[in-house]
């Protein structure tokens, strides 16, 4: 939205959150972390977005380190700006938890409320601009997190393979009960259909390039045609 585009602190929060959203990532998903580390659930006051909350804590610790005092004072010259940046950072990193279906449904509703209204005014109110900026921030963060799936086939396959290998290592270490290979083909298709393609639709609705949707659609087509063979020939070696 225009409000986000003209807000330097909000833009910096997106840049910083994009770099930091996987800080200290343990290589397993949130459901596994909840089962393994009860202390994390207690520390973060619940079992939701545990990995993302851990990344927020690590990112904030880094940003507030004395080594970066000059940067911090330049970006946030007073305590109110520092607090606002912290809130933006938290919102941005939490948006990358796309596995939580309930949170994703809430974000979709927020997006529709902000951008898909039939009575969209020519000059949005301050409240509507704030809603649009918030929804746009979440969309941008998800796009940065899932960008590999909206790029050409070779990039999609490269990073899908690495995600598969990461899950396979966790399974062999006893951290997952089931071999991820058993359902990986279907899991990737579901991920493209339920997360990536709807996100590309929102990106296009926001006036960004239609290339994201084209790449994601082509990746789905190629995955249907070649995914099983790729797993048999390459990924299970």
Mean pLDDT along residues 82-97: 94
Residue 7 clears pLDDT 90, i.e. is over it:
no
List, for residues 180-211, the tens digit of each pLDDT value: 999 999 999 999 999 999 999 888 877 777 88
Of the CA atoms within 13 Å of residue 144, those in its CB half-sphere come to 20
pTM: 0.86
Residue 54 near residue 40 (C-beta atoms within 8 A): yes
Specify the pLDDT at position 198.
92
Q: How far apart are CA 74 and CA 88, in angstroms?
A: 17
Residue 145 near residue 98 (C-beta atoms within 8 A): yes
5 vs 80, higher pLDDT? 80
pLDDT band at 24 (very low <50, low <70, confident <90, very high): confident
Q: What is the DSSP letter of 176?
A: S
Which residues touch 126 (CB under 8 Å, ≥6 apart)?
Answer: none
Mean pLDDT along residues 19-25: 90
Residue 119 clears pLDDT 70, i.e. is over it:
no
Give the chain's largest Cα–Cα span: 58
Mean pLDDT along residues 122-145: 84
Specify the pLDDT at position 40.
67
Mean pLDDT along residues 156-175: 92
176 vs 4, higher pLDDT? 176
Residue 231 clears pLDDT 70, i.e. is over it:
yes
Of the CA atoms within 13 Å of residue 15, those in its CB half-sphere come to 9
Q: How far apart are CA 89 and CA 86, in angstroms?
A: 5
Of the CA atoms within 13 Å of residue 229, those in its CB half-sphere come to 5
pLDDT band at 145 (very low <50, low <70, confident <90, very high): very high
pLDDT band at 171 (very low <50, low <70, confident <90, very high): very high
Q: What is the DSSP letter of 123?
A: S
- Which residue reads 């994009």 in tokens? 18
Residue 53 clears pLDDT 80, i.e. is over it:
yes
Token pair belonging to 230? 């790729």
Specify the pLDDT at position 45.
64
Specify the pLDDT at position 179.
92
- Cα end-to-end distance, the chain, whole Å: 46
Residue 100 near residue 48 (C-beta atoms within 8 A): yes
Of the CA atoms within 13 Å of residue 87, those in its CB half-sphere come to 7
């Amino acid at each position: 939205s225009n409000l986000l585009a003209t807000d330097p602190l909000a833009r910096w929060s997106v840049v910083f959150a994009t770099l930091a959203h996987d800080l200290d990532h343990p290589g397993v998903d949130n459901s596994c972390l909840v089962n393994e580390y009860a202390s994390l659930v207690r520390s973060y006051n619940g079992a939701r977005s545990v990995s993302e909350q851990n990344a927020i804590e690590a990112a904030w610790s880094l940003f507030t380190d004395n080594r970066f005092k000059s940067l911090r004072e330049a970006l946030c010259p007073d305590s109110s700006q520092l607090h606002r940046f912290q809130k933006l950072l938290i919102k941005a990193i939490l948006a990358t938890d796309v596995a939580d279906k309930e949170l994703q449904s809430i974000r979709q509703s927020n997006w529709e409320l902000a951008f898909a209204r039939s009575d969209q005014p020519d000059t949005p109110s301050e409240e509507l601009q704030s809603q649009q900026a918030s929804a746009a921030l979440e969309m941008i963060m998800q796009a940065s997190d899932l960008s590999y799936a909206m790029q050409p086939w070779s990039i999609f396959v490269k990073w899908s393979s690495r995600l598969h290998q990461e899950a396979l290592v966790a399974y062999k270490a006893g951290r997952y009960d089931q071999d991820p290979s058993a359902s990986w083909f279907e899991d990737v298709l579901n991920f493209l259909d339920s997360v990536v393609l709807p996100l590309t639709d929102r990106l296009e609705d926001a006036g960004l390039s239609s290339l994201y949707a084209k790449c994601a659609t082509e990746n789905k087509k190629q995955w249907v045609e070649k995914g099983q063979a790729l797993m048999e020939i390459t990924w299970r070696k």
